[in-house]
Every structure is written in C-alpha cells, then in structure tokens.
Amino acid sequence: MPLNHYTTLGRSGLRVSPFCLGTMTFGKEWGWGSSVEDSQAIIDAYIDAGGNFLDTANIYTKGHSEKIIGDHVGKHPARRDRLVIATKFLSNMFPGDPNGGGAHRKSMVAACEESLRRLQTDYIDLYWMHFWDDLTPIDETMRALDDLVTSGKVRYIGLSDTPAWKCAQAQTLASFRGYAPIIALQIEYSLAERTVENELLPMARELGMGVTPWSPLKGGVLTGKYTRANKDSIEPGRGEWVKNHLTDRNLNIVDTLLKVAGDVNATPAQVALAWVQQRCGVASTIIGARTMDQLTDNLKALDVQLSALHLEALDDASETPPIFPQSFLPFTRNNVHGGTTINGIESEVSPLLPQSDDERW
C-alpha cells in the first residue's frame, strides 16, 4: 500500500497518510535527535513519497520540533496547505508558572498561540490534548477546544493518552452540546503494548475516533537490534528506558519477529509496523525517523504482506490477558444466547437457565 493511499481519520472527512511522520526527534535538545538539516531532509523525503501527515507537540525538543516544521514548510503557504499538521498542548513550557500547562482555557489558548507562532501558520489541522489533566473539568476543555475550532485556529481535535472512560465522557459531551467532535485518539500501541485492546480501541471504534498509534516499535525494542544474545552487552541510545523493556515477553516477541521477517523478506521493524497498521481501528501509525535510513526502512513496511499464520504467530507471542470485565464477559454468552448461534458465534444452553418450558416459573 503506497503512502499516498490515504484514509479518512475517524468519523471525519480529513484524509491522512497510512503512516504519520512523528517529529519528536527533530532537534538535538533532548540529546538524541536529528540536526535541523537532517530533519528537513526527512520531511522532504516523506512528502516526496506521498505523505501528508506530520505530528509534533509544543514540548518536543523544547519547542524546536515545531520551529523546524515552521521554518521548512509552515512559512510556505503552498506547501503548508497540502499537509495535515498536528500538534499538542498540555505540557508546561514555563517553569514556575502553574498556569503554563494543563487543559484549562488559559493554558490551552496561550499554548495554541505559541504553537502557531513556532509553526508559522494561521491554523493547526489537528490539535491534540497530549494527556489527561485530571485537575481540569473536561467540559471546560471541550468548550475551549470548540472555541478554537470556531475561531478557525484549529480544524479538528483529538485526545492522546487519556483513559477510555474520560474519552467517552468528552465525546458524549461534545455530541450533546454541539461542540466539535473528537476525531482521533493517539495511544501507545505495539506488539509489546496491547493492553489498549481492552478498553481504548473498542471505545475509539464505537465513538468514531481514528487511532494513531505511537511507539509502534516500543522505542526500538522491536527493531531486532536487541536480542537475547546481545541484550547484556549492547548500550541502547535511550539507555535504561530500553533496557527496562528487554523482558522475557518482549524478547519472545522479537524472536517471533525475526522468524516472520525471514519468511516475508522484511526487517523485524517492518513486520512490527505492518502488524500495527493492519489492526482493526488503526487509521495512521506514527513512525519516528532520526535518520533517512530509518525513514526509508519504515516506509517499506506498507508493502509487507502478513499471512494468517504470520499474524497468528505474532498474536500468540504478544498476547495480553484481558482485564475485567472483558475477562468475565465471555462466560456470560451461554446465559444470553440460550444455545443459539448469533453472528457466527455458537453457544450452549447454560445449566443455570431453564432447560425446557416446563422448568420455567
């Protein structure tokens, strides 16, 4: 599937590429990013390949990520208008100021103006709440976001790293009051992180939010670079964060990725990305690229075809036990379906139910 085979994002008409270019690595302020020149070259290569979806945040490399995008495409209207630029608010860029961050109106409006300045654009295509601010009522957040949409400074809104129940509350509130709806949900999702399948993914599908997974390679853990053989001798670029995720479970996943990659003539990273992009509800997977080689390698994942057997092997290696109530609900099927088959799902008559008309009171 080419990068220019676009998909609509959630319950909206916004067209985005199947892979979104994440720009958290643009700038070296955090110690492990790309130079300005390399970042600009990566943007150009992504656009030349047909990509149109850039994701950043006010806090990424202390604001430099937004500035790099603004300098390279934001101040060129013809290039800017062809792109879907997404950024995030919530993080505090002003130490010592309690209102410098958060999802309340004062912080959000100020953050939006700052992002518009750095991005050198009049509008933000998709404005994410970066994570949940449990100190701010969600109705204040949704009303303020709706005002930004009404003003024309924001086109669409999304939520990131927020509990499913709070997302559902926000979307219901927006529907009830006629606010701009939430069209997208950004969450961590990968073979190594599948707990979102319990609540967040079903919620997003039900309420019209397209899912844009972040860290689909678990920060490099799923690239095949780290194996059982070298995990104690290699020093990851992100240090302890990566080391803490080189668990037996994740190394089992890497073993399976290596086997599948050999079968389909791809890299483990490409297989891991293909698995995520093919999951139900996923609209556009966020890929990071610190170097041009990483971008080129990641984009090839769109051409990887995984068979049912490959998917089964990857699912088995990465399976995460369901949590309550998902762990309990399958056992209620016989009580509900009464021994019938519905939508292809069979059931038996539960011994707790009347076995005939004579047994019913």
Please report the beta strands in 37-83, taking only residues with DSSP state E, as ranges in sequence order.
53-55
Helix (H) or strand (E) holding 154: strand 154-160
The two three-digit tokens of residue 171, written as one number: 């979307």
Helix (H) or strand (E) holding 22: strand 19-22
Choose the weakest-confidence range: 9-13, 19-23, 345-349: 345-349
Residue type, 105: R
pLDDT digits (tens, 9 = 90+) for 249-307: 999 999 999 999 999 999 999 999 999 999 999 999 999 999 999 999 999 999 999 99
| Residues identified as active-site | 60
* Residue 9: band (very low, low, confident or very high) from pLDDT cuts 50, 70, 90: very high
pTM of the model: 0.94
% of the chain exceeding 90 in pLDDT: 87
CA separation for the pair 340, 357 (Å, rounded):
16
Helix-then-strand count for the chain, H and E = 13, 10
* Closest by CA position to 85, among listed 41, 114, 51, 40: 51
Q: Which residue has the tokens 């799902």?
A: 345
* Domain positions in the chain: 7-217+267-305, 329-359
CA separation for the pair 135, 103 (Å, rounded):
8
Q: Which residue has the higher pLDDT, 265 or 237?
A: 265
What is the fold of 7-217+267-305?
A: TIM Barrel (3.20.20)
Q: Mapping DSSP to helix (H, G, I), strand (E, B) and coil, where does residue 186 land? A: strand
Residues 6 or more apart whose CB falls under 8 angstroms from that of 93 comprise: 58, 59, 62, 63, 100, 101, 111, 114
pLDDT digits (tens, 9 = 90+) for 48-106: 999 999 999 999 999 999 999 999 999 999 999 999 999 999 999 999 999 999 999 99
218-222: long-range contacts, CB 8 A cutoff, minimum separation 24: 218/190, 218/191, 218/192, 218/193, 218/245, 218/250, 219/245, 221/192, 221/245, 221/246, 221/250, 221/254, 222/190, 222/191, 222/192, 222/250, 222/253, 222/254, 222/257, 222/268, 222/269, 222/272
CA separation for the pair 298, 16 (Å, rounded):
17
